[in-house]
A and B are shown apart, each in its own frame.
Chain A
Amino acid sequence: MLVTDSDRLQADVVAIVDRHHRDRSALLTILEEIQHCQRAVTPFAQQVVADLLHLSPSQVASVVSFYGFLETQPRGRVVIRLCRTISCQMQGTQRIARQLENDFGIRFGETTPDGAVSLGWAHCLGMCDRGPAMLVDDHLYTEVTPEQVHTIVADARRAAGLPIH
């Protein structure tokens, strides 16, 4: 039997919602898990969740839109978030930002054309004594130097199973 993409995505969502006993109060956790496994909570996934929890799609959408970590469309396979808050800025965030943009040929807020890497900003990551700090997916890097940018990103690409240039 042919399993379509949307069947598979739906099955994943159903499994996640079931794991949380179709409990409405677990909505945020459910959405986080969907984000983790599908790299986004698409309108389609939102609809499936809404049906299973007997909510309106707008109730689910209102939660998705509130939380910075939940996306409605997949971003890059590797998501980089550089801290833009003051203590890191005083330690040279801007140089890291420029190096990231140069290395990927994109600006902050964009994703590389091959869908591999997204660049974005974060607010204070709680590493202010060791800035500049940045998150590459769930991994925190501190005291980042412009020279390190390339290695850090190569590691992340390798971990994500992407070719390293």
Chain B
Amino acid sequence: MDTAIRDVHEGDLTFSTQPAEAGLELALEQQPGAIIDLVDQSGLKGCGGAGFPTARKWRLAAEQAADRRYVVCNADESEPGAFKDRVILERYPDLVLDGMTIAAWAIGATSGVIYLRGEYAFLRPALDDCIARRRSTGTLGLDVLGRDGFDFDVIIHLGAGAYVCGEESALLESLEGRRGHPRNRPPYPVRSGLHGKPTVVNNVETLAWVPCIISNGAGWFRSLGTAQSPGLKLFSISGDVDRPGVYELPMGTTIAALLDRVGGAGAKAVQVGGAAGICVPAEQFDRALTFEDVTASGAVIVFGPDRDMLQVAENFLEFFVAESCGQCTPCRIGNQRLLEGIRDIRRGQCSTDRLSGLLDLCETMRATSKCGLGQTSPNAFQSIIAAFPGDVVGRSAKSLTWVQEVRS
């Protein structure tokens, strides 16, 4: 029996078995420091892409002297191919608010913000209701659950259509009412975040795991997954599969096992981590989904045998050209050059010298871009070229066009 991999549609995700507020009640019976230790022992890492240990982030914010601290829930989910946070916010909003409140208790924060991407505005009424209900039952507001002096409230802030605002320092700029330009780091948000105060920014899913870990114990989470990537993780699966959707998997699951579960037989490649992630060809489907290897935000797009991977790369580069904030040259110009390059390659008009120049440019972008957008945007280009050299070299203009193009 395959109990390790569960489909969200079958209703037996861990999140569906975790009662609202149960983790929060348990957490408030313990000292803040003990909660951070417990999250530390669980090995929970950030589910928003970077995989930074959650407890370490919380401890840094807690230790920073300040009169005010913030907890921010990153609900900007805009990575192409990612939709797990939308499902969590739709179905388990209480767990996210439990997680935010536990984080606030742990670090001594009084205010929380959910930064919700503008395209998810349709989720807002239900989230507002959830927040209002929690205020009326005392799980938000003054003296949360009767804990003297523990005041915590949450507001929702709607984004306005900018992918880069998911980057945590750009998100903070946006919250302060400015252009979403990533900041120079250090200082990191845990030291100087929203309005210059220590701020923990966590992904929706990271926060939702927290009450589950408190209820089931750190050992439970630690015993799942791998040594370096403990626990369970949600994956957004789309593309050429029979059963697309959100799946809960233990970390360390191989791509082959995942494809088996979702009905992805015959796939020629998968893109792991969305547009910013990497393309893994069929020969490497024994690779494992872990923080050390090929996982980031958990977005997995599956490509069947007839797909033109260069069209995929072009689609991603169009996205990055549109979404680069333009602050730094390697990213602003580099993505444009890569897009021109991939278009020429697709037309069968790219010399070998030009191609190696483009691959050098990828390294420059990775090394010199200011934020994760420019550092990761060459990933798809590089990994697709590396995995499918036969589609690139000696290509004729008409080979492999599987779908009519979308015009810009």
Chain A residues, Cβ within 8 Å of B307? 90
Say which one of B79-87, B104-112, B248-256, B359-367 lies at the interface with A: B79-87
Chain A residues, Cβ within 8 Å of B312? 86
Q: Are A126 and B82 in contact (CB under 8 A)?
A: yes
* Chain B 290-313 interface 0/1 with A at a Cβ cutoff of 8 Å (1 = within): 000000000001010001000010
The reply on B188 being an interface residue by CB < 8 A is no
* Chain A 120-159 interface 0/1 with B at a Cβ cutoff of 8 Å (1 = within): 0111111111110001001110000000000000000000
Least Cβ–Cβ distance between A134 and chain B, in angstroms:
11
Q: Are A128 and B236 in contact (CB under 8 A)?
A: yes
Interface size on B (CB < 8 Å)?
Answer: 55
The reply on A80 being an interface residue by CB < 8 A is no
Least Cβ–Cβ distance between A74 and chain B, in angstroms:
16
The reply on A85 being an interface residue by CB < 8 A is yes
The reply on A89 being an interface residue by CB < 8 A is yes
The reply on A42 being an interface residue by CB < 8 A is no
Q: Are B177 and A25 in contact (CB under 8 A)?
A: yes
How far apart sit A25 and B82, CA to CA, in the bound complex (Å)? 29
Chain B residues, Cβ within 8 Å of A84? 315, 318, 406
Q: Are B245 and A129 in contact (CB under 8 A)?
A: yes
Chain A interface bracket (under 10, 10 to 19, 20 to 34, 35 or more): 35 or more
Closest to A129 in B: B244
From A29, A66, A140, residue with most partner B Cβ within 10 Å: A66
The reply on B404 being an interface residue by CB < 8 A is yes
Q: Are B77 and A86 in contact (CB under 8 A)?
A: no
Q: Are B80 and A90 in contact (CB under 8 A)?
A: no
Say which one of B114-122, B214-222, B342-350 lies at the interface with A: B114-122
Q: Which of B77, B178, B244, B316 contacts A126 (CB 8 A)?
A: B77
Q: Are A85 and B80 in contact (CB under 8 A)?
A: yes
How far apart sit A26 and B86, CA to CA, in the bound complex (Å)? 25
How far apart sit A24 and B178, CA to CA, in the bound complex (Å)? 9
Q: Are A123 and B78 in contact (CB under 8 A)?
A: yes
Say which one of B21-29, B93-101, B141-149, B153-161 lies at the interface with A: B153-161
Within 8 A of A (CB), among B266-320: 275, 301, 303, 307, 312, 315-316, 318-319
Q: Which of B77, B81, B159, B406 contacts A94 (CB 8 A)?
A: B406
User: Which residues does A use to contact B, with CB under 8 Å?
Assistant: 24-32, 35, 62-63, 66-70, 84-87, 89-90, 93-94, 97, 108, 121-131, 135, 138-140
